[in-house]
Amino acid sequence: MKRSGGVLPPGFIHEFMSSFFYDQFGRQRKWEHVRAVDHLYKLKQKSGSDPWPVVEAVIKVWEDTHPIEWEAYIVELRDIKRTRKDPKFASTYDKKNGGYLRYTLDIPDKVIKMIRTIYSVDELPMNKDFFVAFARKFPRFQIAQKL
């Protein structure tokens, strides 16, 4: 590696080395993820009993740190919405059980896990009321046109 007239821009090695670290299992991690976690916990303390600013920040963190997964998820959501026979209620007929199924909301698994990591079951029960409020606050995750 040449230093003068260099192949690498000045500060490249330091920047590369300081953007990653290895956890206790030897897996490479990014410092930006640690900073995001710190931000989310501070936001939780600041927002008190209102979880929605934290939930919104969790979605933003996932969107920013996993842009390829985010784009794939958006495409998948569009496909799901298009394939519903009745888009107003997002229902389909279940031949196996002989009934109609409603697909009202689709939240990425990783987002749910991130929320659950920050909030315990007692702090934030993920019940029907939570999911209805989630659909109203974040309509891009809503499949059915009507809740």
Percentage above 90 pLDDT, the chain: 46
Predicted pLDDT at 2: 43
Question: Per the domain annotation, does 7 fall within a domain?
Answer: no
Q: Give the least confident one: 82-86, 110-114, 126-130.
A: 82-86
Question: Per the domain annotation, does 15 fall within a domain?
Answer: no
Question: Per the domain annotation, does 26 fall within a domain?
Answer: no
Q: Give the relative orientation of helices 109-118 and 52-65 as an angle to the nearest 10 degrees.
A: 130
Q: Domain range holding 91? A: 32-141
Question: Per the domain annotation, does 82 fall within a domain?
Answer: yes
Question: Per the domain annotation, does 4 fall within a domain?
Answer: no
Question: Per the domain annotation, does 66 fall within a domain?
Answer: yes
Backbone angles phi, psi at 130, to 5 degrees: -60, -50
Q: How far apart are CA 54 and CA 40, in angstroms?
A: 6
Q: What is the length of the chain?
A: 147
pLDDT confidence tier of residue 4, bands split at 50, 70 and 90: very low
- Which residues are within 8 A (CB) of 91 and not within 5 positions of it... i.e. 6 or more apart? 84, 85, 100, 101, 102, 103, 144
Look at the chain and report how many structural domains it folds into: 1
Predicted pLDDT at 27: 85
**28-69 pLDDT tens trace:** 888 888 888 889 999 999 999 999 999 999 999 999 888 999
Predicted pLDDT at 14: 47
Question: Per the domain annotation, does 134 fall within a domain?
Answer: yes
Give the residue-averaged pLDDT of 4-19.
52
pLDDT confidence tier of residue 108, bands split at 50, 70 and 90: very high
Question: Per the domain annotation, does 11 fall within a domain?
Answer: no
